[in-house]
Amino acid sequence: MRKTHGQTGMDADVIIVGAGMVGLALACALKDSGLHIIIIERAEAQVRFSLGRDCRVSAIVRGNQQILAGIGVWPYLEGDAEPIRAMRVWDNQEAGGIRFDAAEIDQPAMGYLIENSCTQAAMHRALLASDDVEYLCPAEISLLEWFDERVQVSLSDGRVLNTPLLVGADGGRSWVREQAGIGCYQRDYGQQGIVATVRPEHGHRGTACQRFLPTGPLAVLPMSDGLCSIVWSAEQDEAKRLMAMGDDEFLSALNATFGPVLGRVVEAGERAAFPLIGRLAHHFVRERVALVGDAAHCIHPLAGLGVNLGLRDAMVLAQEISDARRFDEDWGDMAVLDRYMKQRMPDVLSVMASMESFHQLFTHDFPGLKELRGLGMRLVGNSGPVKKLLMRNSTGLSLPVPKQIS
């Protein structure tokens, strides 16, 4: 991968705006296609550490781990990935709950917990050998102009780039989406997600735990070296109270809330909090523009599926670009981009609807709802075929998404 300042008038077959995990995954998928790819990023991401680990993590499901292997990233990432072999879910302090185990679907793991900075570093390493991918950072776009056969990208330092396809991979508050005139639906959950690295007294044995509370879910996810990552979604007032606590007070609150599942949590690192806002772009594409990842959709993190949706966006778009090149089509044309959108919409809408249903189901306490939740979990837990189908879908193994670009 060339890290360059470029030249005025440089052309690219695809320009990707945003060097997060999804933008880099798209570049990795296209790195051997023979296309000239330029990635534009305003600034290198700053890592926020908690007990020496990146406090922003992602649970990469098994199907998407196969994607990372197919695009050449996994060999650089495997050593930093902690397998999630099982998952326990329960409702507040109620007895029972449900357990999912990877062995039930004949898989070594349901997914892998990985620090976001490790994933990005692995993707950069996978791109190093490619002379067809350029990385412009720091670089800021000052103007986008649309023409019949190209988008002209003017950078603030005077450079001008032209491309038949511009990809917005620049996050939930996407500047590319705004400049393309694409609006979005927005849902403010009135919650914040508190993230931190913690050290429990007992080993996690590769099991992810999620407890649903009236104020939002608390997830405790397995990391290497016996550590865990927590994602504690809480209503605004409760989140502010938790963030204002001293370390010892927060540790006590965490232990009282999570319970003795892993023994006591004996240490908690620095905390960070971020608002929980759902977004769905009105359109994923317009002429010569495609949106991927959070620029197209943001979901509640209660199942940790956000980046997984984005990785699937990247693979489907990369395959459509590759197919268009093979058949001498213009991959910035709406006929090609519509194929990408139509393939992705069912997956995205299904996951978003599921997350919204879970949110409503576990944050309300209408009469009889608690009993209904318990009955539902028992029925799923005792229904082998239904449970296996649910697990295969949630791990991305049953979805028609390419694992590598043909």
Amino acid residing at 308 = N
| 6, pLDDT greater than 60 | no
Mean pLDDT for the chain?
90
CB atoms within 10 A of CB 205: 9
With 90 as the cut, is the pLDDT of residue 301 above it? no
pLDDT in tens, 163-199: 999 999 999 999 999 999 999 999 998 999 999 999 9
Residue 195 lies in a domain: no
Residue 92 to residue 221: CA distance in whole angstroms: 17
Pick the range with the lowest mean pLDDT from 31-40, 92-101, 113-122, 246-255: 92-101
In the chain, the amino acid numbered 172 is G
Say how far apart CA 183 and CA 299 lie, in whole Å: 17
Number of structural domains (the chain) is: 1
pLDDT at residue 303 in the model: 55
How confident is the model at residue 367, as a pLDDT? 55
Q: Is residue 66 part of a domain?
A: yes
Contact 322, 71 (CB under 8 A): no
DSSP state of 265: E
Task: Catalogue the E-assigned strands of 52-183.
Answer: 53-54, 57-61, 82-84, 86-91, 98-101, 111-115, 133-136, 141-146, 151-155, 160-163, 166-168
Structural domain including 42 reads 2-185+277-394
**CATH number, residue 301:** 3.50.50.60
Residue 381 lies in a domain: yes
Structural contact between residues 57 and 229, judged by C-beta atoms closer than 8 angstroms: yes
**229-244 pLDDT tens trace:** 999 999 999 999 999 9
In a domain, 28, yes or no: yes
Helix axes 306-326, 334-363, angle to 10 degrees: 170
**Per the domain annotation, does 222 fall within a domain?**
no
Helix (H) or strand (E) holding 211: strand 207-213
Q: Is the pLDDT at 262 greater than 90, yes or no? A: yes
d(CA 378, CA 333): 49
